[in-house]
């Protein structure tokens, strides 16, 4: 089969799979909120979940929280929190006292003109209500985002979805040792990172898979693309190379997001930084909407 033909075939199968998925969704009744919630992992099943103190609140966020409470009903129930995971749409919120599941207030999106950008994302600082006797919290307000990493979704509708907020840096991951590194991907990610006012860092992973000459060539190409102001780090999770340099980009109290295509070595890198296997690797699809705290390097 020729190359063009192979490509065309792939496209049909992809379209068919999509159509089948749509049909399945159309015939299956939507899961109830209770069913969805029951399938969300409990806190004791999770590792490396950030604590409230790991995610500092800035002055604008504190002021917005105080202002919100000044006008809220039963303000004594309001807590300042940080969204540390999203599982099936249910945020996990860390506050100074506790970490608990939450939902967002009814009409939350609507009251803001249906603008999805204001739905809670991982990294958001929020005002969350915890009524006495309730396990679940209710997020009533997303506090001002210092930065927000967004992507377009729904081409015609032009909606923007916030993938992560309040990030300080974006680690742009590309694997070495599989031909030349794809600089156009790096360039696109660079634009996204700069667009959201986060500091970009290029991380070239799997250095153990290429020889010195290849490494020099790719490093040189990457450096020429990003210029002198953007760090380019070479890592090998297999050999423990470059991990300290990556850690140095994420000092305590700061937040980094890892960006890169599937198979680039993101989960393996994060596991290496954590010192144990928290994330599944090798193509196993797991939740990506989560924050973890790196161990202290003191």
* Beta carbon of residue 33, minimum distance to ligand GDP (angstroms, whole number): 30
Say whether residue 189 binds ligand GDP (CB under 6 A): no
Residue ranges of the alpha helices (H) in 125-283?
Answer: 183-195, 212-226, 243-248, 266-274
Say whether residue 263 binds ligand GDP (CB under 6 A): yes
Residue closest to Mg ion when measured from CB atoms? 267
What character string, x for contact with ligand GDP (CB under 6 A) and - otherwise, covers 120-149?
A: ------------------------------
Question: Taking contact as CB under 6 A, which single stretch among the options 43-51, 101-109, 119-127, 261-269 is the one that binds ligand GDP?
Answer: 261-269
Say whether residue 174 binds ligand GDP (CB under 6 A): no
Three-state DSSP state, 40: coil
Cβ atoms within 10 Å, residue 256: 20
Say whether residue 262 binds ligand GDP (CB under 6 A): yes
Q: Which of 259, 231, 236, 260 is nearest to 176 (CA)?
A: 236
Say whether residue 166 binds ligand GDP (CB under 6 A): no
Say whether residue 183 binds ligand GDP (CB under 6 A): no
* Beta carbon of residue 103, minimum distance to ligand GDP (angstroms, whole number): 29
Q: Which is nearer to Mg ion, 123 or 265 (CB)?
A: 265
Compute the distance between CA of residue 293 and CA of residue 255 in angstroms, rounded to an integer. Answer: 9
**DSSP character for 236?**
B
Angle at 273 between CA 267 and CA 275, to 5 degrees: 100
Q: Which of 110, 134, 108 is nearest to 121 (CA)?
A: 108
* Beta carbon of residue 175, minimum distance to Mg ion (angstroms, whole number): 12
Q: Which of 64, 44, 223, 22 is nearest to 234 (CA)?
A: 223
Say whether residue 205 binds ligand GDP (CB under 6 A): yes
Residues that bind ligand GDP (CB under 6 A): 205-206, 208-209, 236-238, 260, 262-268, 281-282
């Amino acid at each position: 089969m020729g190359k063009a033909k192979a490509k065309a075939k792939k496209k049909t199968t992809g379209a068919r799979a999509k159509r089948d998925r749509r049909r399945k969704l159309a015939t299956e009744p939507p899961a109830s909120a209770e069913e969805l919630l029951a399938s969300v992992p409990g806190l004791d099943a999770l590792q490396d979940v950030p604590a409230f103190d790991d995610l500092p609140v800035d002055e604008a966020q504190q002021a917005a929280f105080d202002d919100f409470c000044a006008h809220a009903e039963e303000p004594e129930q309001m807590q300042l929190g940080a969204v540390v995971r999203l599982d099936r749409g249910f945020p996990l919120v860390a506050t100074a006292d506790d970490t608990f599941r939450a939902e967002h207030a009814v009409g939350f999106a609507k009251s803001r003109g249906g603008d999805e950008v204001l739905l809670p994302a991982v990294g958001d600082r929020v005002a969350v209500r915890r009524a006495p006797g309730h396990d679940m919290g209710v997020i009533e307000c997303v506090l001002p985002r210092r930065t927000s990493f967004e992507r377009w979704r729904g081409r015609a509708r032009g909606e923007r979805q916030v993938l992560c907020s309040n990030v300080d840096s974006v680690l742009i991951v590309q694997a070495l040792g599989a031909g030349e590194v794809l600089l156009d991907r790096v360039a696109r990610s660079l634009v996204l990172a700069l667009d959201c006012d986060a500091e970009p860092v290029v991380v070239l992973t799997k250095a153990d898979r290429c020889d010195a000459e290849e490494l020099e060539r790719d490093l040189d190409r990457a450096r020429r693309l990003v210029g002198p102001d953007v760090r380019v780090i070479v890592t090998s999770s297999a050999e423990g190379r470059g991990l300290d340099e990556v850690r140095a980009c994420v000092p305590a109290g700061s937040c980094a997001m890892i960006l890169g295509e599937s198979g680039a070595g993101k989960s393996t890198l994060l596991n290496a930084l954590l010192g144990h296997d928290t994330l599944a690797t090798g193509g196993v699809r797991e939740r990506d909407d989560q924050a973890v705290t790196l161990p202290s390097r003191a």
